[in-house]
Each structure stands twice: as C-alpha cells, then as structure tokens.
C-alpha cells in the first residue's frame, strides 16, 4: 500500500546537488515550498531503482522531525515517504539510529484523533516490522515504546474510526505476534481481548449480511493475532483474556460467510476455532450448547484444508468429555464420519478414525448406533483398503469395541 500520489519529479532533480537543493526547500521557511519538496520526496520514494532510497537519506532526519506538529497533509506525506523508504536495509538502519520508533510513537500519541495520520503511522510501522531482523532489533524497541497500547486503542468497534486505520494497526499487531514467541507484553496490554472483541463485532456484522468493502483486510490480521496470542496465554487467564463465548459464534459466522468467496479466510477462522477449543472446555461446551456443531459438520465435505481443521475442532470437543461425545453423535457426527472415512485424503481418514474411536468408546449406545449405520462393513472395508496405522485402528475398533 502506498500513500497518496504526489507530483511527478523532473529528471533535473538528479543533477548535481539536486538532493541538497530539495532538502534546502524542505527545511526553508516557505510552507508552500516545504509541501512541494515533501511531495517530490514522496514521489521519489515510489521509485523501483534501488539507489533512490539511499539518495533520499539526507532528508530523513527532517522527515522524522516534521512528524511532530505540521499540517495533516504534510505529516501524511512524511509518513508515507518514510514507509516507502523503510524496506531498503541501509535506510532502515539509518532511520532506526535516527529514532524512527520513538518518533512514530510520539506522532501516534499526539495525532490519535486524526485518522489519516493514524493510518499513515500504521503503514510506516508495518513496513518497518516486516524487516528481516525485526524480531532481534526492531520489535524490542517497539514493545518498549507506547506504540502497542496506541495501536490496540485503534482496534475499536466504533464505526467512527473507519476501517483504514484499524486495518493498518491490526497488521502491525500481527507482525508483532508472528515474529516472537513470548507475547506476555501484548497480553498484559489486553491485545487478546481487544482483537477478539473486534472479531466478535465483525462476526456479528457479517452474520447480519453486512460485508463492508475491505472488511476481510481487517478480519485476516485479527484472526492471526488471536491464533498466535493464544499460544502464550495461560489457561487460567483465558476466560478473562477472551471475554465471553460470543467469540465462537463470530468465528462460525465468518467461516460460513467466507467459505465460497474467501476460502483462505474461512480456513483462518477454523484455525483459530481449533486453537480456542484445544485450550478451553467452556468454549467446546458453548459450541454444543449454542447448537453450532451441525453447521460445522456440514463443512466436512469441503477441501482446501477447511475440513481437516473442522475435524480437529470436533476432536477437541470429543476429547474433553464423554458426554460431549454422546452429544456429538446425537448431532449427526457418526453419519458424517462414515462419509469422511471413505475420502481419498489420508489425513482426513486418520482424523476421522481418531474421532470415531472417542465416540464409540464413550457410550455403548453410540457404538450401537454406529453399527446400525453400517459401521461394521465400513471398518471392514477400511481394513482391506488401507495400510499401516489406519488398518490397525480399524482392526482395534472392530475387535475390542464393536464385535465384542
């Protein structure tokens, strides 16, 4: 994403002392000349030529200085210019040394009600966080600053904020979470609760048929943030960090809404649902209590990694409690497993066998129902048509839990 288009730069700019002249205009007392100079720099920052970023280095300290207290348009152009220059490794190191992280933190704090500037700060920071050495050098600086708390404050369901700033800030949080394993700083600042709360709001809007343009660009980083943050969240803190059970309702709504139009986003939703149910019996119970399981079972025929993730979610539910297994059987999972056991996808067959085992051993009534649905002949066919572990599991089920 680039900033707003600037003016076309004259080739004469590359004559001797041209950058010196441009910096002179940028630092002069004439406001109109300063604005034209930063527009020229912004246009230059779009250049595909690798030498251009380094050529703009003399202007970088002034671009950083001007982040504190200029007009909105001027500040925006400075930010987008810096963001476009950030990917160059030489420029990035120079900007870090010149204090770009505290400059962005100060700018975001002072301009937090100016949405255009907030969005531009998010863009510039996201470019910085995608550097190869971000985890070692940049992220510790960002976490030690006020940036995370201000970024999270933009993730609000309040429609007055608009999607643009929230999208940029959500991607920044995503780059922070995916580049490190220890998320305690972000968890302490309420990142998991903030991201999941916004997902609940967006899931509710999607369920009502409101798909605002660009909404998926916000949903995607939020899903990844929640999925990654869960790995560091202590189980004892999960309920406080996640809010209430509405998160599973939202995830199921997103799954259904994007299944055909954005299957990758549906898969991300299923991934987060898997992570949640692996950690929380209460959320597994909520899927049953709120009657969301039949909708999940209907997704088992879908490919693109969605069905395997859904089957893992159902396995998480079954693993928690024998009574949950009985409820899953009553909601139609046995007949669905009869279909998935015939699939060519070996991962699906293996997962199906795992879930079937938990259901069959949970209750004699479930085992009896499976037999009524033709389970014996299905497992016998699996014995003959499969190899290795799948064959052994089919044999074990037959000999120890069904035929006996």
Question: Would 243 be classed as within a structural domain?
Answer: no
CATH number for position 37? 1.25.10.10
pLDDT, tens digit, 9 for 90 and up, residues 302-331: 888 899 999 999 999 999 989 999 999 999
What confidence score (pLDDT) does residue 334 get?
A: 95
What confidence score (pLDDT) does residue 273 get?
A: 96
**Highest averaged pLDDT of the listed ranges 9-18, 132-141, 248-257, 339-348:** 248-257
Question: Would 67 be classed as within a structural domain?
Answer: yes
The answer on pLDDT for 16 being more than 80 is no
Average of per-residue pLDDT values in the chain = 88
The answer on pLDDT for 287 being more than 90 is yes
Who's near 306: CB < 8 A, 6+ residues apart? 255, 259, 263, 266, 267, 270, 299
Question: Would 153 be classed as within a structural domain?
Answer: yes
Position 290 confidence tier, pLDDT thresholds 50, 70, 90: very high
Question: Would 307 be classed as within a structural domain?
Answer: no
What confidence score (pLDDT) does residue 29 get?
A: 86
Position 159 confidence tier, pLDDT thresholds 50, 70, 90: low
CA distance 342 to 352: 10
**pTM (2 decimals)?**
0.89
Instruction: Give me the long-range contacts of 127-134 (CB less than 8 A, separation at least 24).
Output: 127/83, 127/84, 127/86, 127/87, 128/83, 128/86, 128/92, 128/95, 128/100, 128/101, 129/172, 129/175, 129/176, 129/179, 130/87, 130/175, 131/86, 131/87, 131/89, 131/92, 132/89, 134/175, 134/179
What confidence score (pLDDT) does residue 160 get?
A: 64
Which residue range is the domain that position 54 belongs to? 12-189
pLDDT, tens digit, 9 for 90 and up, residues 33-59: 989 999 999 998 998 888 888 888 999
Question: Would 213 be classed as within a structural domain?
Answer: no
Question: Would 195 be classed as within a structural domain?
Answer: no
Question: Would 370 be classed as within a structural domain?
Answer: no
Question: Would 300 be classed as within a structural domain?
Answer: no
For the chain, the domain total comes to 1
Mean pLDDT of 330-358: 92
């Amino acid at each position: 994403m680039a900033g707003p288009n600037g003016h076309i730069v004259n080739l004469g700019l590359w004559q001797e002392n041209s950058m010196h002249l441009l910096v002179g205009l940028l630092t002069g007392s004439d406001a109109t000349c300063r604005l034209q100079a930063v527009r020229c720099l912004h246009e230059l920052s779009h250049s595909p030529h690798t030498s251009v970023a380094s050529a703009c280095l003399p202007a970088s300290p002034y671009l950083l200085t001007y982040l504190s207290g200029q007009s909105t348009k001027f500040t925006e152009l400075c930010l987008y210019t810096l963001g476009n220059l950030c990917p160059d490794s030489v420029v990035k190191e120079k900007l870090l040394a010149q204090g770009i992280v505290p400059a962005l933190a100060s700018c975001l704090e002072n301009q937090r009600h100016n949405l255009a500037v907030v969005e531009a700060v998010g863009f510039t920071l996201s470019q910085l966080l995608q550097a190869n050495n971000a985890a070692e050098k940049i992220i510790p600086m960002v976490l030690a600053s006020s940036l995370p708390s201000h970024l999270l404050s933009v993730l609000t369901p309040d429609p007055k904020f608009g999607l643009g700033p929230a999208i940029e800030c959500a991607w920044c949080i995503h780059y922070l979470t995916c580049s490190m394993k220890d998320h305690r700083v972000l968890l302490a600042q309420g990142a998991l609760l903030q991201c999941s709360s916004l997902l609940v709001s967006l899931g509710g809007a999607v369920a009502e048929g409101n798909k605002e343009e660009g909404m998926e660009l916000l949903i995607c980083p939020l899903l990844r943030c929640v999925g990654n943050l869960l790995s560091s969240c202590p189980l004892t803190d999960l309920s406080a960090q996640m809010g209430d059970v509405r998160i599973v309702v939202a995830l199921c709504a997103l799954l259904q809404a994007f299944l055909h139009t954005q299957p990758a986003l549906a898969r991300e939703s299923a991934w987060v649902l898997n992570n949640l149910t692996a950690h929380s019996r209460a959320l597994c119970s909520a899927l049953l209590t709120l009657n969301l399981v039949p909708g999940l079972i209907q997704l088992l025929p879908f490919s693109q990694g969605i069905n395997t993730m859904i089957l893992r979610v159902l396995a998480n539910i079954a693993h928690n409690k024998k009574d949950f297994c009985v409820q899953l059987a009553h909601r139609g999972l046995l007949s669905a497993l009869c279909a998935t056991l015939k699939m060519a996808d070996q991962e699906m067959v293996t997962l199906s066998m795992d879930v079937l085992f938990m259901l069959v051993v949970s209750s004699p009534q479930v085992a009896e129902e499976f037999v009524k649905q033709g389970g014996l002949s299905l497992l016998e066919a699996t014995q003959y048509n499969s190899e290795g572990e799948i064959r052994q599991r089919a044999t074990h089920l037959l000999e120890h839990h069904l035929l006996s």
